Structure 1
Amino acid sequence: MFRTLIFSASLISASVAQNFVNPIAEGADPCVIRHDDKYIWCQSAGNRGVALWVSDRLTSLGTPHVVWQAPENGPYSKEVWAPELQFIDGKFYIYVAASDGKNANHLAYALESEGSDPLGPYKLHGPFATGEGSDGKSPNIWAIDMMVFKNDGKLYAVWSGWDKPGSDNQYLYIAPMKSPVELSGPRVLLSKNDTYLWERTEEREGSRGLAEGPQILQHEGRTFLIYSTAASWLPTYKLGLMELTGEDPLDPTSWKKHDQPVFRGTEKTFGVGHGGFVQSPDGKEWWNVYHAKRDRGGNWLRSIFVQPFTFRDGVPDFGQPVDPGTSLPLPSGEKILSSSLPLAVSFRNSRDLDAFSYYGHQQFLAITDKGVELGTAPAEPVNAYRAGEKLVLDGGEFTDFSVDTEISFLKGDRDAGLLFRVTDPSVGFDAQRGYFAGIIPGNKTVVLGKTDGKNWKEISRAPLTSDVSSGVKLAVTAKGKEITVSLDGKKVLSAEDDTYAKGSVGLRVVDTHARFENLNITGN
């Protein structure tokens, strides 16, 4: 078992929610495929490797597994960007861009699984010959965002590349393939990158065009290439579409570009793009998986959204991005998880997290032999941001219960504590509905409050008289509207509130680094 469950004769069951809330995770350039009734997510691991997550659900990434680590030095040791996982002819392949630390040296590589296990091991191939000349290497030229597709049984690669060394102008290219790890012909420019103003970084004359993140979507005999365009670092990022209308994918005239973007930002969800498309568990729905910016500044702080789309007259209709905090029905056929009490988790290895969903930047989560750490400062931060990092138990809708955990404060003196009666968790400081009981060493306070998905409201506080420097046991008992909070077995505050009657439990920190050892939940 991936968690330790201690069952009694009587269990508290959960009538779990059938909705979820976006964004579901931190990340950029999300890739997910459906394989053997599982969703396999693929992302860069801090720009120094590739990580996969295996999940039963499209709305939760699951637990990360680093399947390939870049070497300390060399041509593919740094800037590991936008890995794309694909299953081709019985094997898994991960197409990824990497460099020696200088962006101008980015080239495309392939990782090939040695067997049928998506978690590896993997063998590295490359770099691909994505340049000019008859050999594609005279010289080899900058390439990122490669993916592979089949048309009439033949294999092709598409990617974003520079037109010449050092140009920093990104176009979409295509080439035939000899195998999933080798091209068999020269690259072909698919289209200009500034045909329309909306393809330009600032959507106006004088700014440059940019095309990247090509994704192939095949449906009912039609092949679409959906690409990301404009500026990934600005709110202008969006999706454009080309359709294969001719017979030869290597002939640019075989592709027809739509004159309008097919997915663009709104006032609340912006900088959208570079994702992928996958079906619901029962195959009845199509879902758009993409990232959006966290703010309107020129940066790459992003989080992951998923939402359904349809086809209109055979063409994908993505609608518009949902607002953060919007509740959506679960994908059709997605498992509705149910956790029962009593429950005990030790947090000693990554499998202990299989029953939880994490909401926060991936580099602020760590598992050690002493417990799970939230808010851990990344050694090499990559587009890092704080978001009230939290782990929430999947499938819990408990009413009356007691929960406790041991907390050690490792760095910082802000909040760390327990979430309870929680629903609608998402990425964000107060992006959940429910209660939070926490310790704030900085002002020697124990606090109890609630969030409505966007805002925090304090219910009660008490002075912290215990020494928490060497760790402390925090416990909460909820019975009806009565809530009590204890430290090391001593009650420190009690209050009444009937805003939330049931929900799950979890761990949370606010701008601090804390370790949690054990989580125990029992029914009253």
Structure 2
Amino acid sequence: MKWTITDDCAGRPQSLKLSSLVLAPLLLTATLHCGDGTMSPLPHGGGTGPEEVGATPLAAACTPGSSGNPFVSGWYADPDMKIYNGVYWVYPTYSAPYDAQTHLDAFSSPDLITWTKHSKVLDKANVSWATRAIWAPSPIFRNNTYYLYFGANDIQSDGQLGGIGVAKSNNPAGPYVDAIGRPLISKFINGAQPIDQNIFIDDDGQAYLYYGGWGHCNIVKVNSDMISLDNASFKEITPSGYVEGALMFKRNGKYYLMWSEGGWTGPDYRVSYAVASSPLGPFPKAGTILSQNAAIGTGSGHNTVVNVPGTDDWYIFYHRRPLGETDGNHRVLSYDRMYFNSDGTIKPVEMTSQDNFCDGNALGWTSYGATWTVSNGRYVNQQQPDAKALLNTNYSALSLEADVTPGASGDAGLIFRVSSPGAGLDAYKGYYAGVAAGSDRVVLGRANGGAWTELASAAATIDANVTYHLAVVANGDRISVYLNRSTVPTLTATDATYASGAVGVRAHDSAAAFDNVSASKPPGAIFYADGGYGGLGISLNAGNYTLAQLNAAGIPNDWMSSLRVPAGWTVQVYQNNDFAGTMWKFTADTPLLPAEANDQMSSVKISAQ
């Protein structure tokens, strides 16, 4: 057997350590040991090699961003980060009522996968003038010192004590202590509330502080001592739509200013950006790259970015609010991959809903009916009559996949469009697709609070303790199940009982294991029966669709009330068949169509970028 090792050390010296060799089927577990002391785990199989259909597929590599969000536990927001001595350090706001926001924690990671918490790196006890609302820390290292810029007290006028402070430490984990005994910026300048500071040092050594709330953004030069300002250099640089959360970074000689728009507790919180040739701007808005996702999370914003050294791999770190949370302070830390176009513009970020359990935890999962644990990089359950675990999601049209390892009895697989989960057998409403080693079959069915309806099944050789790749595509009322990456569905069914709900995994009377769980919306524009992306959702690829073609895709006449439009796409909705009558054009997600267009689609043209 021939194996090709993929270099994941970014050009660093490396050696290969074989940590285990398991037969039947053959699996090779390997780790690249890089010369700078870091380790880069390779996929099971040691790289790329033959994969026997029906046998254990090669597991995905442990790569940043693939182990699920949130990446740490607890309520946190407003992350900023730096890399110190090869270690990634994230400094967020402790998200609580303002009077309880009296300290800052930090999290460190050698690989963007596993994280260590450092409690109370800054506490109000070490800042004489700070009493509450300590937030939005921004770290930097200079002068052989670690600095942390922060806001405190949420002042509403110049007559109040507070604003932006600076603390210092000889360790990135703190403790940080007030560096000057007073706020660094304590007044409203150019209308900007002194909050949400971001420190940036340019290639020429000049340091800048970007900051501001209340819809105004300022820049000011920071002196080389990092604890005083060039007071003559204050300049307003507010871009269109700016509310708060300024961030500056540099790539390929271009300066990128990011900021948050909308209300931090509202449904319109989002991240936009501008590009300039100077750190001073001007900063004309280039677009919005991160918005809430009704299937995954809301209130996404106040971000930072990080570039993996030696690569052009970039990640955006931000906070978002789990679905169903109504407390504004219940925010969690998340991150996703960020990509650039060839012209330097940024592609819209896709929030992810996935977990390969490489981080050794199951944050974001809620279990029912059994004890679930992460063991050897897989999500496993104790054998019970019905064991379920759900991700807090709400998908209608979706693509869901996972590596499933069933036990000797019962069956195991994926659940989707789930609501009302419970601990009893089939005590949920939703769909299930699974494999059964005991009966050698693949099954698709519908549960309704204890009642089970089989929608389709097929015979297949399913062995106990062997891993199978299982995938489900649900688009409108059409459901397809795929086994071992076949391009032809193993099962198909038509059922519209459940329009949307959570995704997850399930084992019925089986001690099963799951890995590489991933949920996403299908490609294309998605049309929904109800406003707010509610009701049944049906995805359509680029093309022109007459009424007959819409009906064939499962979309009735005069049915659509909201839609999601991929970035760069255009959807032209026509009131009548054959692209006649009034036309409405949509180039972005629209949670509710204008009254005159609601339930008026009889034909549509969809064009991709």
1:107 maps to which of 155, 163, 166 = 163
- Give how far 1:40 is off: 1.4
2:510 maps to which of 497, 503, 507 = 497
In 2, the alpha carbon distance for the partners of 1:234 and 1:40 equals 29
In 1, the alpha carbon distance for the partners of 2:286 and 2:206 equals 29
CA distance 1:190–1:236, shift in 2 (3 Å): same
CA RMSD of aligned residues (A): 5.0
Which residue number in structure 1 is paired with residue 217 of structure 2?
172
- Give how far 1:24 is off: 2.3
Deviations 1:98-123 (A, max 9, x none): 11898975411112112xx3112322
In 2, the alpha carbon distance for the partners of 1:242 and 1:100 equals 27
In 1, the alpha carbon distance for the partners of 2:60 and 2:373 equals 14
CA distance 1:13–1:270, shift in 2 (3 Å): same
Given residue 261 of structure 1, which amino acid in structure 2 is its aligned partner?
A: T
1:24 aligns with 2:24: no
CA distance 1:428–1:61, shift in 2 (3 Å): farther
SS at match of 1:319: coil
Which residue number in structure 2 is paired with residue 130 of structure 1?
185
CA distance 1:69–1:396, shift in 2 (3 Å): same
In 2, the alpha carbon distance for the partners of 1:234 and 1:125 equals 36
* 8 Å Cα contact 1:227/1:241 also seen in 2: yes
In 1, the alpha carbon distance for the partners of 2:305 and 2:94 equals 22
Which residue number in structure 1 is paired with residue 258 of structure 2?
226
Given residue 221 of structure 2, which amino acid in structure 1 is its aligned partner?
A: P
In 1, the alpha carbon distance for the partners of 2:372 and 2:81 equals 21
1:37 maps to which of 83, 86, 89 = 86
Which residue number in structure 2 is paired with residue 414 of structure 1?
none
- Give how far 1:226 is off: 1.0
Which residue number in structure 2 is paired with residue 396 of structure 1?
377
1:239 aligns with 2:271: yes
Which residue number in structure 2 is paired with residue 119 of structure 1?
173
Deviations 1:349-405 (A, max 9, x none): xxxxxx854726xxxxxxxxxxxxxxxxxxxxxxxxx97799965753488xx989x
- Give how far 1:305 is off: 2.5
Deviations 1:218-252 (A, max 9, x none): 01111111111221111211222233334x72xxx
Given residue 238 of structure 1, which amino acid in structure 2 is its aligned partner?
A: R
SS at match of 1:77: coil
In 2, the alpha carbon distance for the partners of 1:82 and 1:426 equals 28
Deviations 1:386-426 (A, max 9, x none): 97799965753488xx989xxxxxxxxxxxx9x9999xx96
Which residue number in structure 2 is paired with residue 158 of structure 1?
210
Deviations 1:173-224 (A, max 9, x none): 111112322212146343346x4xxx2xxxxxxxxxx521111120111111
Which residue number in structure 2 is paired with residue 285 of structure 1?
313
Q: How does 1:236-315 map to 2 (within 5 A)?
A: 236-246=268-278, 249=280, 254-258=281-285, 260-268=287-295, 269-280=297-308, 283-295=311-323, 299-315=328-344
What residue ranges of structure 2 are gaps of 5+ in the alignment? 1-21, 30-43, 45-58, 96-100, 395-399, 405-411, 427-462, 466-506, 517-609
Between Structure 1 and Structure 2, whose CA radius of gyration is higher?
Answer: 2
Q: How does 1:328-339 map to 2 (within 5 A)?
A: none
In 1, the alpha carbon distance for the partners of 2:402 and 2:423 equals 14
In 2, the alpha carbon distance for the partners of 1:453 and 1:41 equals 33
In 2, the alpha carbon distance for the partners of 1:85 and 1:453 equals 41
1:183 maps to which of 229, 252, 260 = 229
In 2, the alpha carbon distance for the partners of 1:236 and 1:311 equals 24
* 8 Å Cα contact 2:338/2:347 also seen in 1: yes
TM-score w.r.t. structure 1 length? 0.55
In 2, the alpha carbon distance for the partners of 1:308 and 1:213 equals 20
| Number of residue pairs matched by the alignment | 358
* 8 Å Cα contact 2:187/2:194 also seen in 1: no
1:318 maps to which of 330, 347, 359 = 347
Deviations 1:134-159 (A, max 9, x none): xx8xx998411112112332111111
Q: Which has the higher contact order (CA 8 A, sep 6+)?
A: 1
Deviations 1:58-116 (A, max 9, x none): 244333432222239963121111212223354322111111898975411112112xx
CA distance 1:234–1:221, shift in 2 (3 Å): same
In 2, the alpha carbon distance for the partners of 1:120 and 1:92 equals 9
